[in-house]
Amino acid sequence: MNFMRTAILLAGMTALFMIVGLALGGRSGMGIALVFAIGANMFAYWNSDRMALSSVDSHEVDRSTAPDLVDDVAWLAQRAGLPMPRVYVVNSDQPNAFATGRDPEHAAIAVNHGLSQMLTREERLGVLAHEMAHIQHRDTLTMTIAATLAGAISSITSWGMFFGGGRREGGPGPLASIALAILAPIAAMIVQMSISRSREYVADETGGQLCGNPLFLASALSKISEGAAAIPDEVVENKPAMAHLFIVNPLAGGPRDNLFSTHPDTQNRIDALVALAQRMGVGMAQPQPQAAAPAGGWSPFRGDGAPAGAESFLGGSGIVRGGTPNPWGAGPPDENRGGPWGRS
Identify which of 334, 245, 251 has the alpha carbon closest to the alpha carbon of residue 296: 334
| Pairwise CA distance, residues 231 & 259, whole Å | 25
Q: How far apart are the first and last CA of the chain?
A: 36
| Pairwise CA distance, residues 257 & 268, whole Å | 8
Mean pLDDT by 10 residues, the chain (344 residues): 61 74 75 78 78 88 96 96 97 94 92 95 97 92 71 65 51 63 69 72 95 96 93 85 85 54 86 95 59 40 39 42 34 36 36
Identify which of 206, 219, 212 has the alpha carbon closest to the alpha carbon of residue 132: 206
The answer to whether residue 161 is domain-embedded is yes
The answer to whether residue 329 is domain-embedded is no
pLDDT in the model for residue 45:
76
Contact assessment for residue 152 and residue 36, using Cβ atoms and an 8 Å cutoff: yes
Under the phi-then-psi rule, with left for phi > 0, alpha for psi from -120 to 50, and beta for the rest, what region is 254?
A: beta
The answer to whether residue 137 is domain-embedded is yes
The answer to whether residue 227 is domain-embedded is yes
pLDDT in the model for residue 154:
67
pLDDT in the model for residue 332:
35
pLDDT in the model for residue 236:
84
Helix (H, G, I), strand (E, B) or coil at 188: helix
| Pairwise CA distance, residues 239 & 232, whole Å | 13
To the nearest 10°, the Cα dihedral for 58, 64, 69, 71?
Answer: 130
The answer to whether residue 328 is domain-embedded is no
Helix (H, G, I), strand (E, B) or coil at 163: coil
Contact assessment for residue 93 and residue 73, using Cβ atoms and an 8 Å cutoff: no
pLDDT in the model for residue 304:
39
Instruction: Provide the residue range defining the domain that includes 51.
Output: 2-280
Estimate to the nearest angstrom the gap between the alpha carbon of 333 and the chain centroid.
28
The answer to whether residue 218 is domain-embedded is yes
Residue 275 to residues 15, 116, 124, Cα–Cα distance (Å): 37, 26, 20
The answer to whether residue 324 is domain-embedded is no
The answer to whether residue 204 is domain-embedded is yes
Query: Which residues are tagged catalytic?
Result: 131
* Three-state helix/strand/coil letters over 226-278: HHHHHCCCHHHHCCHHHHHHECCCCCCCCCCCCCCCCCCCHHHHHHHHHHHHH
Q: Total domain count for the chain? A: 1
Which segments within 68-185 are labelled E, that is strand? 86-90, 97-100, 108-112
Pairing of strands 86-90, 108-112: parallel
**Dihedral sign of CA atoms 249, 254, 258, 261 in order:** negative
Where does residue 230 rank: exposed (0-12), middle (13-18), buried (19+ CB within 10 A)? exposed
Where does residue 42 rank: exposed (0-12), middle (13-18), buried (19+ CB within 10 A)? exposed
